[in-house]
Structure 1
Amino acid sequence: MNFEVSEEMSVRLAMIREFMDREVIPLEGEMLHGDPQQLGEAVAAAQAKVKQMGLWAPNHPVEFGGLGLSMVDHGLFAEAVGRSPLGMTVFGTQAPDAGNIEILHQHGTPEQQERWLRPLVAGEIRSCFSMTEPETAGSNPLLLETTAVGDGDDYVINGQKWFTSSADGAAFAIVMAVTDPDAPPYRRSSMIIVPTDTPGFELIRNVSVMGHSGSGHASHGEVSYQSCRVPKSNLLGPEGSGFVIAQDRLGPGRIHHCMRWLGIAGRAFDLMCERVNRRVIHPDGSSLADRQVVQHWVAELDAEIRSARLLTLHTAWMIDRQGAKAARDEISAIKFVVANTMLKAVDTAMQAHGALGVTDDTVLSYWYRHERAARIYDGADEVHKTSLGRRILRRYAAT
């Protein structure tokens, strides 16, 4: 294994880190306290600068306007921009667009790619991913109830979805729906592109999460499909391949999430270390940094973040060389290890900040609210642990 960064990537990472510190992190005050329209204008201006720097959409296909980074290089990029909640958006790699771009690139027809993929990579439109349902277990896509019934050259879609992230303002959704209820479980569903201006597509609400409904990229929509008719040419891949495509999307997508979470953990760690060195707690001038318990926090978190980072880079390295299927165990492991490491870093940093930590004067409380879902979405911790543990034990039983 060799995680040595190429000279070209080292230069890119240096440019990204400098840009994040100078242009992106200062926008967090506007994000937390300012006007959404002004924030949108500021983000658009930052995106224009990223494009001028030649750093736009680094993980997306070269032929569609991205940089085509390897999984390891993209992981390093995601860590660098993950240090701010605005980083992924400013560089054009935000979820769920990033995952939708991957499956459109892998499974889309040339016509679908020209109509949807190219403008999506360019940042001219946004998309959403519509799989999770309120009445079925989100960790098991085999239980979906939304249907897409063939009618001549069309599909007619009916069902209810929620946590259709970024539906507010999206140009299209990629919907997972049952196309053949009588097929074997893994062949029942398909993925279909649905323009959001299609009659029968209704954004009911942005779901309130931890007291915040959000808008645009930061929203999680509840969507109703009522006799929503789209042409069969909007089908992604062969009919019945929805589960397979979902795995293609979610496996590499967990690298994106995990390295972004490591960026969050690293920034929270930095904020904590800066705070405990500054915070005087005794007339003799001693600070929080002089307390052994705080020193233990720092030592433990440093070791845990570095361990999680190496585990994630190893997983990315395996995907680059052997594909996501070969890295199945590693993908399961990083999902729950990195999520918990990130949340521990944020929680400990908040504790070190005292009362300031629970205010919105720092970005920590934002992450505490928005990233708690990391242990739930893309498969709950318990699902990944059960799956990984079962596979390991079966290998031992076989020998």
Structure 2
Amino acid sequence: MATSTLLDPSLLSPKFHELYAKAKDFIENDCIPAEALYEQQMGKNEDRWNVLPPVMEELKVKARSLGLWNLFLGHEYGQYGGGLSNLEYSLIAEMLGRCGIASEAMNCSAPDTGNMEVFAKYGTPAQKEKWLKPLLNGTIRSVFAMTEPAVASSDATNIETSIRREGNEYVLNGRKWFASGTGSPNCKVFLVMGKSDKDNANRHRQQSLVIVPRETPGVQIVRPLTVVGYDHAPHGHFEIIFSDCRVPVENIILGEGGGFEVIQGRLGPGRIHHCMRCIGMAEQALDLMIARVTDPSRRTFGKTLSEHGTIVAEIAKCRIEIEQSRYLVLSAAKRIDEVQAKNAKREIAMAKIAVPNMLQRVADRAIQAFGAAGLSQDTKLPHIFVNARYLRIADGPDEVHLQQLGKAELRRASEIVEQQQRQKAKKEQLLAKGSSRL
């Protein structure tokens, strides 16, 4: 394992080593070779939204038989998951990033991962039975609907979708977009964030999270949205209107006003899962770049591309930045294991800022090395680049995390000043005595 030198071996369990070996073999020898067939079975145009490629179902059956299932759910979720630590899962998730279909094949893909964590952590027994169980089994897909087109959703307190109680029901009205996963034929349930108490003096108690079955009257699927031209079918990212949607009061999660607490608990681990996969995507982009520039048939000015100093330097930069990012991700994952996500905000923010930016730079260098081919559908590089750019906005834009991280650092100001004052006083004392003795 290439990353084992970064870790104290005692931090990795025997179970992890077994699952890692199985996952590596499954991803390299089953998932990656199946990607082309998956695309072929997807079909074209509108058919792309109505097809569940048979090869995916075959991969799921094999993954489950190998125990490579729901590995993102760690010790704290008991019988539901693989029992790995976040640190251990990060190493497997890095491999998942090397293959576009591997996460789904192992039932470890967003947004279902975060939604399963919500149901497992906050759901009632009835909610777990109805929704968590089929999600864990991989028989349905789900959506997390928070972002809205009419407000700056990077500040979640801005959301305007209304959740109004009428008797034994909640009535929802609002518009959401970039609701990932809506296009899947297996999508059966939305987790919808809205305001149930917009006049509450505490801005973080105005929101609630409710379960809305997809077939609920008043749910209008407006359109799929592209991400820099990619539609990401069959799951996609959709605009949805909720118009007088009625759901029973037992569909609320963690009670009225608990929405903000739930999403904070959901987003922390999810941000790190994305970063873990980004490391794998970056390694894949660098591999493609190295293979391209060392190809003896690719020669310019009498040399292979790899013999040009600029190319050599760019490859070195990629390696440095990937290793730096890996350290950040592993550090954040370890910190979550030690103190939980809500107390690891600093480490999560650093990884969330740095890693997608790193991936974007690595993918850009690889595209440049490929020339025109790097911009075409003949390589995965455009898709990797777009994923990197998308992740600089998804789960909170860079600017929000920079602001939070910067403020956290500034809170150390009084401590720094006090230390400086103590050192200054000590220095002046020693100078007055004219002595070097401490």
| Band of TM-score, shorter chain | over 0.9
- Rounded Cα–Cα distance in structure 2 between residues aligned with 1:358 and 1:33: 21
Structure number with greater CO (CA < 8 Å, separation at least 6) is: 1
User: By how many angstroms is 1:90 displaced?
Assistant: 1.0
1:67-102 Cα deviation digits (max 9, x unpaired): 132111111111011101111111111100000011
- Rounded Cα–Cα distance in structure 2 between residues aligned with 1:202 and 1:317: 42
Conserved in 2, the CA contact under 8 Å of 1:64 and 1:118? no
Deviates most, 18-27 or 302-311: 18-27
Where does residue 240 of structure 2 map in the other structure? 223
Where does residue 154 of structure 1 map in the other structure? 169
Where does residue 52 of structure 1 map in the other structure? 65
User: By how many angstroms is 1:33 displaced?
Assistant: 5.7
**Other structure's SS at 2:246 match:** strand
For residues 192-211 of structure 1, the aligned pairs below 5 Å read 192-211=210-229
Give the partner amino acid of 1:235: I
- Structure 1 unaligned spans of 5+: none
Where does residue 105 of structure 2 map in the other structure? 90
**Other structure's SS at 2:62 match:** helix
Give the partner amino acid of 1:330: E
For residues 1-399 of structure 1, the aligned pairs below 5 Å read 2-4=7-9, 5-31=12-38, 35-36=42-43, 40-60=53-73, 65-169=80-184, 170-183=187-200, 184-217=202-235, 219-282=236-299, 286-397=303-414, 399=416
**Other structure's SS at 2:129 match:** helix
Conserved in 1, the CA contact under 8 Å of 2:359 and 2:385? no
1:324-355 Cα deviation digits (max 9, x unpaired): 12211111111110010111111111111122
- Rounded Cα–Cα distance in structure 2 between residues aligned with 1:378 and 1:92: 20
User: By how many angstroms is 1:31 displaced?
Assistant: 4.8
User: By how many angstroms is 1:373 displaced?
Assistant: 0.8
1:222-268 Cα deviation digits (max 9, x unpaired): 01000000011011112101111111011111110000111101111
Q: How many residues align?
A: 398
User: By how many angstroms is 1:211 displaced?
Assistant: 2.1
- Rounded Cα–Cα distance in structure 2 between residues aligned with 1:391 and 1:163: 30
Name the CA shift for 1:3/1:189 in 2 (closer, same or farther; >3 Å): farther
Conserved in 2, the CA contact under 8 Å of 1:13 and 1:80? no
**Other structure's SS at 1:21 match:** helix
Give the partner amino acid of 1:200: G
Aligned-residue CA RMSD in angstroms?
A: 1.9
Name the CA shift for 1:148/1:282 in 2 (closer, same or farther; >3 Å): closer
- Rounded Cα–Cα distance in structure 2 between residues aligned with 1:318 and 1:247: 16
TM-score normalised by the chain length of structure 1: 0.95
Name the CA shift for 1:276/1:191 in 2 (closer, same or farther; >3 Å): same
Where does residue 421 of structure 2 map in the other structure? none
Give the partner amino acid of 1:51: R
Conserved in 2, the CA contact under 8 Å of 1:206 and 1:214? no
Conserved in 1, the CA contact under 8 Å of 2:41 and 2:53? no
User: By how many angstroms is 1:105 displaced?
Assistant: 0.7
Conserved in 2, the CA contact under 8 Å of 1:32 and 1:360? no
Conserved in 2, the CA contact under 8 Å of 1:350 and 1:357? yes
Give the partner amino acid of 2:56: V
**Other structure's SS at 1:263 match:** helix
**Other structure's SS at 2:210 match:** strand
Deviates most, 15-24 or 37-46: 37-46
1:46-73 Cα deviation digits (max 9, x unpaired): 1111011111111236655531321111
Give the partner amino acid of 1:7: P
User: By how many angstroms is 1:29 displaced?
Assistant: 2.5
Deviates most, 12-21 or 303-312: 12-21
Conserved in 1, the CA contact under 8 Å of 2:38 and 2:53? no
Structure with the greater alpha carbon radius of gyration? 2
Name the CA shift for 1:162/1:283 in 2 (closer, same or farther; >3 Å): closer
